[in-house]
Structure 1
Amino acid sequence: MSTAARYDAVVVGGGHNGLVAAAYLARAGWSVLVLERRDVLGGAAVSQQVFPGVDVRLSAYSYLVSLLPDRIVTDLGLPLDLRDRAVASWTPLRRDGRHRSLLVERDEGPATAASFRALTGSDAELAGWQRFYGRLSTLAEDLAPTLTEPLPGEAELAGRLRDPGIWHDLRERPLADVVGDHLTDDDVRGIALTDGLIGTFADVHAADGLAGRCFLYHLVGNGTGRWRVPVGGMGAVSGAIATAARAAGATLLTGATVTALETRADGVTVHWTDADGVAHAADAGHLVGGAAPAVLDDLLGAPAGPRPSGSQLKVNMVLRRLPGLRSGDDPHRVFSGTVHVDESASAIDAAYAKAAAGQLPDVVPFEVYCHSLTDPSITGGTGLHTLTLFGLHTPAELFAADPVGTREEAVRRVVAQFDDHLTEPLADCLAIDAEGRPCLQAASPLDVEAALAMPGGHIFHGDLSWPVATDPAQAGTWGVATSHPRVVAASSGGTVRGGAVSGLGGFAAAQHLLGR
């Protein structure tokens, strides 16, 4: 074993949150060591060449940016190019035996109004849509600034909101009821409800707040809720943060598997092995937990809590060409936004009931994105296109008995559902890799767990929390404390305001330590 070095802080986990914490601490003059198990930094925010011989850099896990605050980008001098999509969403439908669609532009111009009118027969549903999202926009503008401040108490936060009613409703009422107050069309309600189900297995009719919390985090980013495409893929985001951390003096090690933590009143000793199996140790005044809470608890010898359960089917594809659409819409326009397939409110309910009974849904609600339309750089001038599919209501438990077979059946179902809206089979559009295989890669929650050490494959590391101090004793803190005063959480699920690629966990951990 090498002789133990001494650092002000050791960060366990080199995902984007761990890197944000390292960058802030190093810029403040702290000596910082980051230990990452994988051979690349970034955790789920990485770009990879997934298919042999196909020069395309896919955002293999996370794929869009919304919650990353402009403050973090500015503080760390991150040279990011985050691009808006002209189309917010597009939904192919079959009504009365006809192929129809619903288009929602980013700025909701005349084409959006015409699309709502053609689908629903009046302007009433669009008016409800605009009222609902207008209220959510006001909430986002009021709530977003608090995410980079110490946790407000409930009364303090309510006093800062211009529309406390929508905040109350999201917290106290089933999401389906809140959406139903504003929207009546089955398909339109479903489009709204999906933001409460990304990576989260929840009943939208339950008053447990699970879907409401997920919904909130998908609507408040930077006060606009806009989901933007990072030029260069998600790896450009984590790469920029890693560069900032290194430039400030932090040491970043990959291939470093942490094996044990020893806590003391004055600090922590961290043990790890490198890629060659050589054992190392380092002493630190503080430990920053960038790994999933369950992983950190195991290293600390803490009792195991409930096992998280992710709920998503991720399918990465590279296409030779975009398929035509039976609705007659231009795929080069509508695929640039989020494409909702079989995500009506009734389809969501049916899928949840089936999955809750332990069975793969007959119809899997899913979304599709083509990032190469917004960022052609990721395909390197090849003329190819990326296509990312994200399925809902596919919890980890469904894959336990037969991981490969269930995943393959899930992929078969979503491809068949997609094909119903295409003028040609999706399989005919797939590129072929250097080994003669179609460029399609699927991952269940169990696959995500194996690749990224996210227990249960939960992309948020566990259930999200409301971004407020629900305990009065927590008000004014950063929401990162653990059972040991020398160990702070920085991960998505370990902090009060984690979730998605936001950096909020790492930011809060750094502010907590620097404030000490």
Structure 2
Amino acid sequence: MTTGYDVVIVGGGHNALVAAAYLGRAGKSVLVLERLGHLGGAAVSAEAFAGLPARLSRFSYLVSLLPDRIVGELGLRIDLRSRSVSSYTPWTRDGVESGLLVERRPTAATARSFRERTGSDREFAQWQEFYGRIEEAAKALAPTLTEPLPDREQVRSLVADAAGSQLFDDLFERPLGYAIDDWFTDDLVRGVVATDGLIGTHTSLYDPSLLANRCFLYHLIGNGSGEWRVPVGGMGAVTDELIRVAREAGADLRTGVTVTSVEAGENGGQVRFTDGDTEQTADARFVLSGVAPAVLDRLRGRESSTPRGAQLKINMLLTRLPVLRSGIDPALAFAGTCHLDETATDLENAFRDSAAGHVPDPLPGEMYCHSLTDPSILGPEQQRQGWHTMTLFGLHLPSTLFEGRNDDLRKQLADGYLAGLNRYLAEPIEDCLATDAHGEPCVEAKTPLDLEDELNMPGGHIFHGDLNWPYADESTDKWGVATDAPSLLLCGSGARRGGAVSGLGGHNAAMAVLERS
């Protein structure tokens, strides 16, 4: 059976839903095809632990790059809440247990924390200057993400005019590690800054490819502030709203279907898929791909290299927050990002160890507690009893480490991260873990190979591949979504300006279609 549409979208992640909503509202007939039994891809919530009504953001968990423009234009009824704390990093020196507290809007408490760590006010002054300049650059760059791609010189002018030419050089011209070394002197402070260049990215801070710079940039320019906000109701609440607006726009959203091939040419494309026992074909003027580029290549019968993800995600459910040795209120320590073993030296050593095929020691990672900002993801009784969720994201763990030993290494790393956390706690985290209906501790770990298996995400790469600069080069199309076939466009994280829960790939692919229609 063959059916015709204006647009067929392969994959039903959040970007696909954004594209479907925009195109449906413009009067286009749209078909979305999703392999899984649900929509949203990695932007979902789930009851991860048997018998316990806690809906965790199982994969993606915070929102920064989703532009307020998309939220407003689509009429998304979502609540993205700010966290009072940006980060907390416990440290031990000469028998003293303390930590670096960074409030989202720094007060005297943040200044004191820097002074205790570094012995002067210089590092905090540098911090304020550095991030103040980045915020000005973000305000200039963020509006370009939903517009046709600027070229490099336009981006240079925007950043230099807003924050100075030196910041452009720091972000776009030389390896991030050197810039951080110039701005800051303390190893721990340098590490806190550097982590935004390494989330989901396996590279050295000093690599001349500037991959860390690109990752850093996307982590800090969302909505002109770079703030990472908590989605009330969990990440699934964001997807639920995208499903609502896409359906209201008339999009045909199908789940549990398997796309078997994609063909595309000058004036149209064809998608073959199975729905149950039925083989079907959909013809379209445009085919949009929300799947990873490596998956699209396979659907087109082409060879492709597999990207390499580099992270471990651990979800936990706690009956109480653990007490820290430093004495800080756990509600402060875990409200923002709590960094574990992430000095600049730790991060660089972890990269070198993992690149050589060894498990890093210590294991760098960061944690945060969703339920401190949004308790609604917990059941009423859990809220009353003071239960909490906890998310841990481990860095520099490439998919190649897990090949042939995924189950064993998953458990080894989960145990290793809990042991690493325990070094900073006055009580073991194991004493705070809830148990599920089977009496098992509520700890769930996801490796890159797990993401590949569950989400069809090659290599478990959360960005579908290396991030690109948010500007055009000689070979880039106007919106950063083109392929070698005019009727086939990228609308997922693999598009230029893709990655994270942003909707940018979906928005920009929809704009490209509407311009050409």
Counterpart for residue 403 of structure 1: 406
SS in 2 for 1:332: helix
Q: Deviations over 1:349-389 (max 9, x none)?
A: 11111101101112110000100000000012213210000
Q: Deviations over 1:89-127 (max 9, x none)?
A: 001111112211010001001110111111111101101
SS in 2 for 1:318: strand
Quick one: distance in 2 between partners of 1:266 and 1:223? 38
Counterpart for residue 385 of structure 1: 388
Equivalenced residues, count: 509
Q: Deviations over 1:197-234 (max 9, x none)?
A: 00100100112111000000000000000000000101
Output the TM-score relative to the length of structure 2: 0.97
Whether the aligned pair in 2 keeps the contact of 1:172 and 1:207 (CA below 8 Å) is no
> What amino acid maps onto 1:452 in structure 2?
L
Counterpart for residue 23 of structure 1: 21
Whether the aligned pair in 2 keeps the contact of 1:201 and 1:393 (CA below 8 Å) is yes
Alpha-carbon spacing, 1:265–1:146, altered in 2? closer, same or farther (3 Å): closer
Displacement of 1:157: 2.2
Displacement of 1:408: 1.3
Whether the aligned pair in 1 keeps the contact of 2:137 and 2:158 (CA below 8 Å) is no
SS in 1 for 2:126: helix
Percent of matched pairs sharing the same residue: 55
Counterpart for residue 46 of structure 1: 44
Quick one: distance in 2 between partners of 1:511 and 1:262? 22
SS in 1 for 2:41: coil
Whether the aligned pair in 1 keeps the contact of 2:133 and 2:167 (CA below 8 Å) is yes
Quick one: distance in 2 between partners of 1:503 and 1:58? 21
SS in 2 for 1:364: coil
Counterpart for residue 150 of structure 2: 152
Counterpart for residue 365 of structure 1: 364
Counterpart for residue 89 of structure 2: 91
SS in 2 for 1:181: helix
Q: Deviations over 1:13-67 (max 9, x none)?
A: 1101111111110010000000011111100100001111010000000000000
Whether the aligned pair in 1 keeps the contact of 2:265 and 2:486 (CA below 8 Å) is no
Q: CA-atom RMSD, angstroms?
A: 1.1
Q: Deviations over 1:224-278 (max 9, x none)?
A: 000000001011111111111100100100101101123344322211112x333
Counterpart for residue 180 of structure 1: 181
SS in 1 for 2:99: strand
SS in 1 for 2:35: coil
Output the TM-score relative to the length of structure 1: 0.97
Counterpart for residue 300 of structure 2: 300
Q: Deviations over 1:375-415 (max 9, x none)?
A: 00001221321000000010000000211111111112111
Superposition map of 1:47-446 within 5 A: 47-161=45-159, 162=161, 163-274=164-275, 276-304=276-304, 306-381=305-380, 382-383=382-383, 384-446=387-449
Quick one: distance in 2 between partners of 1:44 and 1:290? 12
SS in 1 for 2:183: coil
Quick one: distance in 1 between partners of 2:64 and 2:449? 26
Whether the aligned pair in 1 keeps the contact of 2:264 and 2:287 (CA below 8 Å) is no
Counterpart for residue 505 of structure 1: 505
Counterpart for residue 9 of structure 2: 11
Q: Deviations over 1:288-319 (max 9, x none)?
A: 00011111111112331x32000001000000
Quick one: distance in 1 between partners of 2:208 and 2:106? 31
Quick one: distance in 2 between partners of 1:191 and 1:133? 12
Superposition map of 1:484-495 within 5 A: 484-493=485-494, 495=495
Whether the aligned pair in 2 keeps the contact of 1:83 and 1:229 (CA below 8 Å) is yes
Quick one: distance in 2 between partners of 1:323 and 1:264? 58
> What amino acid maps onto 1:508 in structure 2?
N
Displacement of 1:131: 1.2
Unaligned runs of 5+ in 2: none
Displacement of 1:164: 3.4
Quick one: distance in 1 between partners of 2:199 and 2:154? 29
Unaligned runs of 5+ in 1: none
Displacement of 1:132: 1.0
Whether the aligned pair in 2 keeps the contact of 1:131 and 1:182 (CA below 8 Å) is no
Whether the aligned pair in 1 keeps the contact of 2:135 and 2:224 (CA below 8 Å) is yes
> What amino acid maps onto 2:189 in structure 1?
V
SS in 1 for 2:138: helix
Alpha-carbon spacing, 1:58–1:5, altered in 2? closer, same or farther (3 Å): same
> What amino acid maps onto 1:302 in structure 2?
R
